[in-house]
Amino acid sequence: MASNTLSPSTPSRTSFGTTAKAAALGAGIAIAGNLALLLIANILSIPLTVMAGPPGPDAPIMSLGPLPVIVSSALPALAGAFIYRVLTKISARGRRIFIAVAVAVFLLSLLPIFAQPLTPAGMAILALMHLVAAAGITWALVSRA
C-alpha cells in the first residue's frame, strides 16, 4: 500500500486554495481575538494610544479603534500565507522554518510597543494583541494548509 505522507525530502503539495482558506481562518482568529482585547481595554478604561507613523517627537498620536485593529490583524495573515507557501514549496522542512520565522517576527513585533506612549497596562494589551495574531495565524497555516 502506498503511503500518502511526505518524505523528509519532499516539499509540500498544498493547493493555493487550501493555503488561502487557512490564512482566512488565521485572520479571523486574529481579528476576533484582538477585537475582544480592544473591547476589554475599553471596558477597563485602558488607553491604547499609538503613534500614527514613525516614532519621534512630532509623530501624530491616535487611539486604536476597530478598523486599525482589523487591518493590523488581517494583513499579517496575507504575508504569513505568502511566506508559508513559498517555504513549503521549496523545502521539505518548510513548516519548521515557517514556525521559526513566525516566532522571530512575533518577537521583533514586540519591540515597537516600548516606543509607544502607552501605560504598562496598554503595553500588556498591545503585546497580547500581537501574540493573539501571531498564534492564530501560525496555528491556522501550519495545521490547516
Cα 122–Cα 74–Cα 94 angle in degrees, nearest 5: 110
Residue 80: CB atoms within 10 Å = 28
Asked whether residue 74 carries a pLDDT value surpassing 60, the answer given is: yes
Asked, for residue 5, whether it belongs to a domain, the answer is no
Domain of 81 in residue numbering reads as: 16-144
Our count of domains for the chain comes to: 1
Task: Record the pTM.
Answer: 0.87
SS in 3 state form for 79-117?
HHHHHHHHHHHHCCCHHHHHHHHHHHHHHHHHHHHHHCC
- Split at pLDDT 50, 70, 90, the class of 39 is very high
> Is 1 part of any domain?
no
